[in-house]
Amino acid sequence: MTALIDRPHGTLTDYFEEAARIIDRAEEGARLELINGKIRSKAVPDGDHGRIIQWLTRICMQHRPELWLNPDQGLKVETYRSGRARPDGSLAASDAFVGQGEWADPDPVLMVVEVTSHDGDTDRRDRVEKPRAYAESGIPLCLLIDRETCEVTLFSEPDGSRYEDAHTVPFGKPLQLPDPVNITLETEPLKDWVS
């Protein structure tokens, strides 16, 4: 990758996007992100991970039918380093990403969702780097469903560099998602999908 970075014809972001497309075609299930100026691989979701996204999608559809929880829509994050992240879900108006490519502008996103994976990079990636990148992008809410700790954390009030508030509840307790989402999550079902 060093040879690519030293070449004067493109930016790290350009090379990352090209590499991500090539790896996506060549390696089934491989997913790359560019966070904090570093290329990271993201674990392929397992069945419980997918079921959590399915559960949350249904809740959002029932309470806010004008919105859609887009799974795996790439977002342009981090104004400073031109990052690229692929949240597990991006809640936005149903047609928010129409006409945008693989890496969309985050402005219409009301909330991003991350569900932890069972890999060694989860702590840094899902709990630290990605919430910071989403806050830098001005995304109002970031919901972290942590299967390791059996907790749900809602990050809110982005100040341009971080979320000023983080509210955590254990699985089983309700969690109010404030404006602009306005949904109460009953988190009891999450206890069934922590394997």
Enter the tokens of residue 101.
Answer: 């490519």
DSSP secondary structure letters along 45-73? P-HHHHHHHHHHHHHHHHH-TTEEEETT-
CATH number at residue 84: 3.90.1570.10
Residue 107 lies in a domain: yes
| Number of domains forming the structure of the chain | 1
- What pLDDT is attached to residue 109? 98
The answer to whether 53 and 90 are in contact (CB under 8 A) is no
Per-residue pLDDT of the chain (195 residues; tens, 9 = 90+): 444 444 444 455 665 566 555 555 545 555 655 566 665 665 556 678 889 999 999 999 999 999 999 997 989 987 655 788 889 999 999 999 999 988 899 999 999 999 988 766 665 667 888 899 999 999 999 999 999 999 999 999 999 889 999 999 999 999 999 999 999 999 999 999 986
Residue 151 in domain: yes
* Domain presence at residue 12: no
Closest to 177 in 3D by CA, of 168, 187, 185, 166: 185
- Tell me, yes or no, whether 158 lies in a domain: yes
State residue 46's pLDDT score. 65
Judge whether 137 lies within some domain: yes
Instruction: Assess if residue 24 is contained within a domain.
Output: no
What does the alpha-carbon distance between residue 39 and residue 156 come to, in Å, rounded to a whole number?
Answer: 26
- Residues of the domain holding 174: 45-193
pLDDT, residue 98, reads 95
Structure tokens at 147: 């299967």
Which H or E element spans position 3? helix 2-6
Q: What is the pLDDT of residue 165?
A: 97
Nearest by Cα to 53 from 30, 87, 98 = 87
pTM: 0.78
Count H helices, E strands: the chain? 5, 13
Residue 18 lies in a domain: no
4 occurs within a structural domain: no
* Alpha-carbon torsion (29, 32, 33, 39), positive or negative: positive
* Contact by Cβ (8 Å): 167, 153: yes
pLDDT of res. 27: 53
**Residue-wise pLDDT tens digits, 131-153:** 999 999 999 999 999 999 999 99
